[in-house]
Amino acid sequence: MTEGVMSPLACTLRTSAGRIFVKGTPVDAPAAWMYRAEAQVTHAASLAPSLLWEVEAGGWLLCGYEFLEGRHPDLSPGSGDLTALVDTLRVMSGTPWPAAVRKKPLAARWGNLAPAGHADDLAGHTLAHTDMSPLNMLRTAGGIRLVDWALACPAPAWADTAFTVPRLIHAGHTADQAESIARLVPAYEAAPEGAVSAFARSLYSVWESRERTDPLPHRSALTEAARAWTGHRSVAV
């Protein structure tokens, strides 16, 4: 694979039955548990590629997934992909977290970077992808599907929509325009204003900390988008 590669192995197999996307890691690698958890989560997520098989052999853990044909969606203002994005967020907001998968919930993952006293605002039992980059989305013939569920965790039903707001700002929307799109998702529209504001402040703190401690080319613009959203909500609430 040529983009988004963080796995020791990420490739496409061309077989007599069609193409299969494969990702894998040495079975004794510290992160091997994440591949097993991702396979379980992907199996439970209706908009994820289907898990076809999971194999341990030759010292490797390999997971084979449905190969999705599609392109990354355009999230900019006026894009024809925005309606499909909202449809996807609606579906995702109604998918429960698979109880058999043990992962830190969102509030615990963010730790002390969340506003003091607001941990309960970030609690929930919905399966949240949490990495809503358009590079993790594919516009297929059946709508927008999501790939790379390694960072999924339990969160509020509106969390993935909230994660999408700064992505929309980054794509050229104003904070108000991004919120208007997000409010087309019933779970987000019904979310307590204080909880969403706490989420926005938490996300900005997390992204700002990452940019400061591990700067990468794409992080500055995303952090600025999160800052703009936080500033918008501090006025709106």
Show the tokens assigned to 73.
């969606």
For residue 102, the SS3 value is coil
Question: What is the structure's pLDDT at 4?
Answer: 57
Residue 144's DSSP bridge partners are: 139
Render pLDDT for 89-114 as a digit per residue (tens, 0 to 9): 999 999 999 999 999 999 899 988 88
Integer-rounded Cα radius of gyration of the chain: 18
Show the tokens assigned to 33.
């548990």
Show the tokens assigned to 49.
């590629």
Q: Are 206 and 113 in contact (CB under 8 A)?
A: yes
Domains of the chain with CATH codes: 9-66 (3.30.200.20), 82-236 (3.90.1200.10)
Q: What number of CA atoms fall less than 13 Å from residue 93's CA on the CB side? A: 24
Residue with tokens 């999705």, as numbered in its chain:
68
Low-confidence residues in the chain, pLDDT < 50 = 236-237
